[in-house]
Every structure is written in structure tokens, then in C-alpha cells.
Structure 1
Amino acid sequence: MNHIIKYTLASLAVLSLTNCTDSFEDTNSNPYGITLESLTQRNNHIGTKFAPMFANVIRVEPAWNYQLQQNLNADVFSGYMTAPTPFAGNINNQTYSLVNGWNGFIWIDAYDSNSGNGVMPHAKDINDIVAASGDTSGEKFVHLANIIKVMAMHRVSDVFGPIRYSKFNEFATSGEYDSQETAYKAFFTDLDAAISGLESEVGSSQFVDFDQSSFQGDIAKWRMFANSLRLRLAIRVSKVDPALAKTEGEKALASNAGLLASEDMEVDMGGFVHPIETISNVWGDICMSSEMESILKGFNDGRIEKYFSAPEDPSLGDYKGIRMGIEIEAKSQYGSHSKIGEVIQGTSKVWMTSAEVHFLKAEAALRGWAGAGDAKTNYENGVRASFEQHGVGGVDNYLADNTSTPADFVDALNAANDYSYPSTVTIAYNEAGSLEEQLEQIITQKWIAMFPDGQEAWSEYRRTGYPQVFPVVVNNSGGTIDTDIQIRRINFVDSEKNTNGANVDIATSYLKGPDNGGTRLWWDTGNSNF
């Protein structure tokens, strides 16, 4: 009931911006004895817009929405997980027959404000309310909304490429797309403004009531997160625009906002269980991947016990994964393989970890960015942070292991799906190795540490080629996706093509090729890493 009252009163407060009359206070008071002026002073008319933004960066409820927003695309394309279920007769995303009805939810959760969806519309609302008020003290909320917006929309851009972003707030141009390059430069602009603009707001408690993250309204921590996000995006563009990447990366490394060093950025799930818990352990629709089995078992990595559960069929051994894109006739064939473990059994979803930031700094050091420190130290700090995050011991012995390598994969049912792991990457950091060899170590450990966020893992695989994700056995793309190069993006959604076709045509011209899954994104150069 309290939530219903809160949202109802907040809606009335928004109306107060456009429905003022001389007798307003007499005729528009609410039955709970709280004036609309009081609600405005408490910022509820702005704060309630944050709830759907927090909800839709990574959608939790209903679980099937997350399944379509991320699990049956990025989570499987990244080499993290595999569905044992032959959806649509095994002609689906996993065999590169991209299902437009599924993939549309990636877009809907970002742009559609109906049914609890939307990030962009609510960020626009916050901007509009603050602008209409004429009160500059509300700008802190615009900055906070823009941080969340960048967090959400860089992920959407990393799926499709061009997106509607920099022109979205103007009615006449809201349907127009930015190229991915333009969008990324807008992300940096928004983050820079937020980091600068929030500096004077450190210590303010006005965001406490609306903050669903582990930061609990602490503006200093939000600046730190925004700065860490800036470093993530700088590394993302390091191959396509080294000068821009270095500029933005060194700003992040030098900023007084700091970087996530010992605390993760997590968002409360509002009492719901993690959707992967439902998808994997209730529905049985997602399991351990073959790559996870090869790398974690080959490395004797203790995190495997946190990430996955033992197979329901004991004859499969301690942990057993499934290769993506193979012939599957029925769920019962591979349905007893390892499910996702206790890593998803919490009350929050992770947006960014301190472990990731250490690995970002390790790569920045390889690239010679000022302030990055030492690559080996950052690498080892990243591994340590990940082990600590998951409560796993033995990190010193793990980091000293210079012999273990990923294991070859053996399919439990069909030898045609076996795969020899095509690398001898090791754990102990090899400072004498080439830049490429050191980068493979960094990204492999970063990939392990970011689990279960397949979106970031898929992006990093496409950017660097690491770790080694196995090619599909069955390719139903009709030649649009190369089996060895693998899927690089998802095509624009049907709802946009049907209602915003002219702008989609322009967006398509921003791509490096046709609007299909085989075309590389702007930052995905396909060139060497150095």
C-alpha cells in the first residue's frame, strides 16, 4: 500500500508543474495531509522516475523478460552459458537463426515506457522536470540519471551499434539514430558532466530515498562508479580510436572521483530472485557452457563451485558444460548438465565489480596510459578481488600456477561436438610475454571474474578475441554470420523497422555492412590488439 500511495502522490506532483491555478492548494490537496509543495520539496516527483531505470538496465522480473533481453543472446554468445532446450526446433539464436521476437526485448526494455519498461523515457522525464522547475539544485538528479542512462545504453549500443541517444530528448528528433561513434562520444560527455557536476553535491542526502544501489545515495560513490564506467568505455574504444581512448582513460585514472577499488556496484532486486535462478534451476533452460568447463576445470579454479552446480546425472562427473550451436533434439538430452550455482542466489544484481576495474587498469598499463600503474599488480589485484567477492580461498597458489591451461572439451553424448582448446594461456602473469600474450591473460581472467554478466563478456570477446569462444557446429544464418568469425551484433528490431523505418535506413548506413549478425560494430575492428 505504501508503494501505491508513493507512486500516486508522485504522479500528482508531476502534474503540478503544468496545472497551477490560484486555488491550486485548496482544490488539489491529497487525503494524506501532504501538500504537493511538500512532495516537490522531497523530490518525489523526480525520484520515482529512477525506479524503472534501475529495473531495466538488467531486467529481473519477469524472468522471461531477462531471458529475452540477455540470456538467450549475450549470455550464450559470450561463452558463459548454453541452453539445453532446442527452442523453435533448434532454429534459434544459438544456431544463428536470430529470433526477432526475442531480441526485440533488448530494445523495448530501453525505450518503451509501458509495463514497467524503459530507461530513456524516464531519463528524459527527469531532465524535463528539472528544466521546467528552473531550480538548478535539481541538476544533481539529471547527472545521476545520465550515469544510469549511459550504463544502460552503452550495453544496447554494444548489441545493435547505432542507437537513439543524443537527440532523444527533442520531440522532432527523438527517432533519429546516432552512429555508434557519435553515441560513445555522447556517453563520455554525459559522464564527464556528471563527474564534474556532482562534485559539489558530495554529502547531499537527497538521493538516498531513491537509490536502489548498494551506494545508498552516497554521491561520492556515484562519482566513483561514473568514473569507472568512463574507464570501461575508454578501453572499449581503444582499438578503433586510440587517441580518444587514451584521453578518456587518462582522465578516469587521474580524476579525484577515484575508481572502484574494493566495493562492487550492485542494485537491489526488490525481493525478486535473480532471473537466471528461475531460468536455470526452475525451468532448466540454461546450463554451464563448454568454455566455462574448459577454462575453470583446466585452471583448477575454485570459483567453479560458486558459479555452477554438480550435474543431476552423477555419471557426468563433477561439472559438465554444453557447447553452443550443436544438434539438440530434446531438452532431455543435455538437461541434466550443470546448472548455474550460488553466484546468482543473492538479493542484488551486479552492475560492475572492483575486479573488473583492476583488469581495466591492467590493460590500460599495457597500452601505456599515464596513471595506470603496473599491469601485473593490477592483474593480480583483479584475481584477488574476484576470489574475495565469491568467498573462494587459495588465491596465492592460484596466482603462482604457471602450468595449468584450459582443458579440451569432450561432449558427453556426441564426439562430433568435442573441441580442443586452441590456446595454452596460463594463470601466473607472464611479464616476459608479448603484449598480446599478456592481454590474453588479462581478458581471460576478466571474463571469468565478470560472470554471469554475459553482455560485458560478449563485448570484450568481440573486441579482443579473448578468451577462445568455440564456434557453432550448426549455423542456420543462411550465410550472414561466418562460423569462425562468429556473431558480431544483432539486427535492428522489427518494431523500429515498422514504425521508424526511414531512420532505421539511415542507421543502417552507419554500419560497416548489412543489417545482420555478421556485421562488426564500430569498435569491433577485427584488427590486431596492438
Structure 2
Amino acid sequence: MMKNISKILACLVVLGLVSTSCSDLEQFNENDRNITQEQLEVDFQHVGSKYRPIFESIYQYTPAWSYQLQQNLNADVFSGYQTPPRPFVSGANNTTYNLVSGWNGFIWDVPYSNVMNNVQTISDLTKDDFPTFHGTALILKVAAMHRVTDVFGPIVYTNFGDLSNAGVYDSQQEVYNAFFVDLDTAEANLMANIDSPRFTAFDLSYDGDYAQWVKLANSLRLRLAIRISKVDPAKAKAEGEKALSQSLGVMEANTDSFFVNSALDHPLQTIDNSWGDIRMNASMESILVGYNDPRGNAYFDNSVATGDLKGVRGGLPLLPGYADELAQKADYINYSALNDNIHTSSVQLMTAAEVAFLKAEAALRGWAGAGDAQANYETGIQLSFDQHGVSGAAGYTADNSSTFIDYVDTINPVNNIAALSDVTIAWADAASDEERLEKIITQKWIAMFPEGQEAWSEFRRTGYPKIFPVASNQSGGTVDTDIQIRRIPFVDSELSTNPDGVLGAVSKLGGADNAGTRLWWDTGAPNF
């Protein structure tokens, strides 16, 4: 069960800006006191040992409650993927927009402590003499930190490690521009040394294959280009076409996908199986069951209560008739849990299926090199089916009648809600670009599961898929129930240790420091 709040807050108070879990610091520093620097340098461990905490902290594997706070009780829930069966803090928690600052500090603190610090060390040691190490570190940096800016908006990025400008935030536009520059450097470094074998021992994703790392860099560039396509279309097009035209290309096969292959257990295994703290979201039920989607039972188990896939409505308060949150959990825990295929796999951060859908949207936007929108769309579906070992993609993509279904809560009918969209699966050339984009994003959303951070970002950017609003909005008016939550406010560790930096960040945010303010790329405007 999730650790109590007092223990979590104690971690934050003691560790401040560079907080990580109280029990996990030792593993990131092993060897340093028992092996000499000379011994470390013989097999490059003085650099290579810094990679594991980066890989394992894009979101943190262990302890599982750190991931629970870093992503599961925010992006995984806000995306419409998952929701807890237990109304934590008597229903006044992140899921109902009564944001718990002690929880949300982990979204900021883990990547700064475990990613940015280690990337800085690697870069200092390698950027002049070992360009491939520097290049892979930069790619990991972008993979981790675009998630952070997509939660908060302005972040400390270009000034990190600069003592003269310590704590000075970049605007989100400045951060994105810096991401593209870092990807340029990484790609150039790797292409010039593509056959160097030295990274293999430290690579938790691609076994030291630098061609795969270049494909990842190109795919990340395409993801970020699509993200800014509404707010800076010229820059987006230039960067997207650069990704599509690079000689090694983007991810095309499932073997290209970006997973972190750690020996540690997937944190969802503990959160779902051991604690029973997460279940299927009602929006997932509405879409997967409505589409008769074969991936449904690859993602979730049938409900003990109903015998089929059944989700929990997001943002449940402590409902009338329950003495406490554990009594309410005792009912809703019987709704659909995650299938073992999900929480016993490696951590998924980017898939070839997602990239196919990115190309489909790029084609809609007229970007050179994107190919045909329909072909990319159908390829994305096929890749996702193959990834999860299910058949029937051809029949599924031809279905022009199935659509979302209404949600019915068999425990508490007060949570019932009508389906929000009638979008179908089959491609329609006669449809408008907006209608075809809804198909693309809906299928991308299904395919990216369980990676809730990217799903939440795409929902905010496009409005798709149309996921159910929270059952109870306890934001005090800062978040519109129908528009839904747009960001997380700046965290307590920054407010206490870097107040001037936060003040500057708020000035670059474009609105109040609350959960209802849209990010730079989240324009609220039509997609076309």
C-alpha cells in the first residue's frame, strides 16, 4: 500500500531540490568508496555507471511508490488510462484535482536528481573525447526532460549546472528549441562514430547499437515537432522533415521501440498486483469495449465483479454509503486490473506504432517524407496488434460502425455517463482533416498504453480521444471540469529553495501557477 504522506514529506524536506527516494540513494553511488578511480576508468565504469539511474528514472522503477507519485497518480490518471479504486485522502487528491503537493514533488525531483545530475557528469567527462557517450546521454536527457516540461511548462534546462545562472528557468519554447539542438549534437556524434562498441555494457535499451539510438533521436524529434505543430508550425515542419529525411530514419519495426530493460520489476506490478491501488479507467472501457478491440484483454483482466472489462470512473470522491476509503476500495478493486502482459514487461517509453501515427499526422499536415496518411494509420494499428500478440488487425481497421459506448457503473449508477464521441475505426478519405486526426489520435492513444505521460500530453494538445471528465472536481474553480486538468503547479521544493526562479517561471508561463493554465503548445485552438 502507498506509503503514508508524512514519510514522503520527510523525504522532500531532507533532500530538497535534488530529492530522490529515501531508501534508494545508495544504489546510485555503489563502488565509489571501495574501488579506486583508476580501477573504474579501466572499464569506463566512472562514466558507464551513471547511465543506469538515468534509464531507471525517466520514470522511477523502485521503490514503486516513487513511480506511483511521479507518474501513476497524475499522468496515468489524467490520460484516461487508469484510475485508483481507492479515493485516497477521502477523495481529496490528484484524481479529483485537489492536488497533493507532497505527491507532485516527485515529478520534478526524481528527474533532476537522477537524470540531469548524471547527464551533467557524463557530459563533463565525455563531450570532448568520447562523443558517443555524450550523444546517448543527450538523447536520454531529452527523453526524460520533455516529460517534465510537458507537466510544468517552464523548467530549468539550459542553465542547469551553470552556477552564474543557477535556478533560472527557460520558457517552454526555449526548452523545446534546446531539445532540438541537443538532438542535433547527439545525432552528429553518433553518426560520426556509428560502429563504436564501447557503450554496449551500459545500454539498457539497444545493446550498444548506435544506429538504433539515431532512430530514437529522429523519432523523438518527430514527436516533439508534432507537439508544437499548432503553436509554431514553421519550426515544427522543419524539425519534422529533418527527422523524416535523416538517412537512418525513424522507428519502423517493433524491434526499434524504446524500452528500458532493467532487471528490476515494473512498478505497475507492485501498484496493481500487490497493493490493488490502480484499475482500468472508464474511458478505456468505453473505447476498447466499444471497438471490440482485441487488445482489451492484453491490457486488462476481466472484472471479478462483472466477468468482462469494467473500468472505474476517474475522479471518484468518497461516495455516500461508504464508511471510509478502504470500504469503497473493497468494491471497486473488483473492477478490471492490469493484465500481466503489461506489468511484467519492460518499461515502454516509445513504440514504432506511435511513430507510425506521428507520420500519419505529419502526412495530414503536408510534411515532406511522411508518406500516405492512411497507410501510416493502418501500419500503426498493425504494429500495435503485433506488439501485444493479438490478431485481427485487418478486420479491425475495416470496421466502420463500432464506436465508443456509454459507461455504466454497476456499483454506483450516479457515475454513469454517455459516450462522448461516435468516431469509428476505418479510415475515411472523404472525412475532414479534423475527423481523420481524431481517428489517428484515438488509435495512437490505444497503442501507447500504458505510457500515460505521452497520452495525457496528446490529449491536451488535440482534445482527443474524448475522455470522460472527473466525477468530482475539487479544484476550487481553478480547473474547468470539461476542459480538464492542463498542468501541475510548480513544486514545494522549488518554491522554498528557488523562489526567484519560480517567479521568473510564472512570468514565462502565460497564466497563473495553477492546474488550469495551458502550456505553450496547448493552444486550445482547432487542430486544422
Instruction: State whether TM-score is above 0.5.
Output: yes
Residue 168 of structure 1: aligned partner:
160
Select which of 414, 424, 429 maps to 1:426.
424
Residues 4, 510 of structure 1: alpha-carbon distance in 2 compared, 3 angstrom cutoff: closer
SS in 2 for 1:350: strand
Select which of 316, 320, 339 maps to 1:326.
316
Residue 207 of structure 1: aligned partner:
199
Q: CA deviation at 1:326?
A: 2.5
CA contact (8 A) 1:130 1:138 kept: yes
Letter of the 1:83 partner, please give it.
P
**1:370-405 CA deviation, whole Å, 9 max, x = no partner?**
000000000000000000000001111111111111
> In the alignment, is residue 119 of structure 1 matched against residue 115 of structure 2?
yes
Residue 100 of structure 2: aligned partner:
99
Superposed CA RMSD: 1.7
SS in 1 for 2:384: helix
**1:135-188 CA deviation, whole Å, 9 max, x = no partner?**
x33122111101000000000000000111011121222311111110000000
**1:46-97 CA deviation, whole Å, 9 max, x = no partner?**
1111111111102111110110000000000000011111111100001100
Residues 299, 39 of structure 1: alpha-carbon distance in 2 compared, 3 angstrom cutoff: same
Residues 345-424 of structure 1 mapped to structure 2, 5 A cutoff: 345-424=343-422
Residues 498-517 of structure 1 mapped to structure 2, 5 A cutoff: 498-517=496-515
**1:258-283 CA deviation, whole Å, 9 max, x = no partner?**
1110021111122x221112111211
SS in 2 for 1:266: strand
CA contact (8 A) 2:315 2:472 kept: yes
Distance in 2 (CA, whole Å) between partners of 1:11 and 1:500 is: 35
Residues 450-461 of structure 1 mapped to structure 2, 5 A cutoff: 450-461=448-459
Distance in 2 (CA, whole Å) between partners of 1:194 and 1:497 is: 33
Q: CA deviation at 1:317?
A: 3.2
Residue 435 of structure 2: aligned partner:
437
SS in 2 for 1:45: helix
Residue 143 of structure 1: aligned partner:
135
CA contact (8 A) 2:258 2:351 kept: yes
Select which of 227, 240, 247 maps to 1:236.
227
**1:432-466 CA deviation, whole Å, 9 max, x = no partner?**
10000000000000000000000000000000000
Residues 183-202 of structure 1 mapped to structure 2, 5 A cutoff: 183-202=175-194
Letter of the 2:120 partner, please give it.
K
Q: Which moved more, 1:364-373 or 1:417-426?
A: 417-426
Residue 447 of structure 2: aligned partner:
449
Residue 486 of structure 2: aligned partner:
488
SS in 2 for 1:351: strand
Q: Which moved more, 1:244-253 or 1:344-353?
A: 344-353
> In the alignment, is residue 250 of structure 1 matched against residue 250 of structure 2?
no
**1:265-302 CA deviation, whole Å, 9 max, x = no partner?**
111122x2211121112111100010100100000000
CA contact (8 A) 1:11 1:45 kept: no
Select which of 117, 122, 125 maps to 1:129.
125
Distance in 1 (CA, whole Å) between partners of 2:83 and 2:281 is: 5
Select which of 24, 27, 31 maps to 1:8.
31
Distance in 1 (CA, whole Å) between partners of 2:513 and 2:29 is: 44
Residues 64, 6 of structure 1: alpha-carbon distance in 2 compared, 3 angstrom cutoff: closer
Distance in 2 (CA, whole Å) between partners of 1:11 and 1:452 is: 40
Distance in 1 (CA, whole Å) between partners of 2:140 and 2:447 is: 22
Residues 88, 5 of structure 1: alpha-carbon distance in 2 compared, 3 angstrom cutoff: closer
Which protein has the larger Cα radius of gyration, Structure 1 or Structure 2? 1
Letter of the 1:218 partner, please give it.
D
Residue 84 of structure 1: aligned partner:
85
Residue 219 of structure 1: aligned partner:
210
Distance in 2 (CA, whole Å) between partners of 1:41 and 1:239 is: 49
CA contact (8 A) 1:10 1:45 kept: no
Distance in 2 (CA, whole Å) between partners of 1:169 and 1:5 is: 19
Q: CA deviation at 1:413?
A: 2.1
Distance in 1 (CA, whole Å) between partners of 2:438 and 2:27 is: 50
Distance in 1 (CA, whole Å) between partners of 2:478 and 2:258 is: 37
**1:218-261 CA deviation, whole Å, 9 max, x = no partner?**
11110110110000000000011000100000000100131110
Q: What 5-or-longer segments of structure 2 have no aligned partner?
A: 1-25, 320-327
> In the alignment, is residue 277 of structure 1 matched against residue 305 of structure 2?
no
**1:192-228 CA deviation, whole Å, 9 max, x = no partner?**
1111221011111110011111x10111110110110
CA contact (8 A) 1:324 1:472 kept: yes
SS in 2 for 1:510: helix
SS in 2 for 1:526: coil
Q: What TM-score do the two structures reach when normalised by structure 2?
A: 0.91
SS in 1 for 2:484: coil
Residue 23 of structure 2: aligned partner:
none
Residue 311 of structure 1: aligned partner:
303
Letter of the 1:326 partner, please give it.
L
Residue 21 of structure 1: aligned partner:
none
> Runs (4+) of structure 1 moved beyond 4 Å?
3-7, 9-13
> In the alignment, is residue 475 of structure 1 matched against residue 478 of structure 2?
no
Q: How many residues align?
A: 493
CA contact (8 A) 1:10 1:39 kept: no
Residues 449, 39 of structure 1: alpha-carbon distance in 2 compared, 3 angstrom cutoff: same
**1:109-145 CA deviation, whole Å, 9 max, x = no partner?**
1112xxxxx10011111112235xxxx3312211110
SS in 2 for 1:372: coil
Residues 525, 381 of structure 1: alpha-carbon distance in 2 compared, 3 angstrom cutoff: same
CA contact (8 A) 2:459 2:465 kept: yes
Distance in 2 (CA, whole Å) between partners of 1:299 and 1:86 is: 29
Q: Which moved more, 1:441-450 or 1:281-290?
A: 281-290
CA contact (8 A) 2:420 2:467 kept: no
CA contact (8 A) 2:280 2:312 kept: yes
Letter of the 1:322 partner, please give it.
V
Q: CA deviation at 1:469?
A: 1.3
Q: Percent same amino acid among aligned pairs?
A: 54
SS in 2 for 1:137: coil
SS in 2 for 1:57: coil
Distance in 2 (CA, whole Å) between partners of 1:5 and 1:464 is: 39
Distance in 1 (CA, whole Å) between partners of 2:78 and 2:161 is: 33
Q: What TM-score do the two structures reach when normalised by structure 1?
A: 0.91
SS in 1 for 2:31: helix
SS in 2 for 1:198: helix
Q: What 5-or-longer segments of structure 1 have no aligned partner?
A: 17-35, 113-117
Residues 274, 5 of structure 1: alpha-carbon distance in 2 compared, 3 angstrom cutoff: closer
SS in 1 for 2:347: strand
Q: Which moved more, 1:198-207 or 1:168-177?
A: 168-177
Distance in 2 (CA, whole Å) between partners of 1:80 and 1:6 is: 35
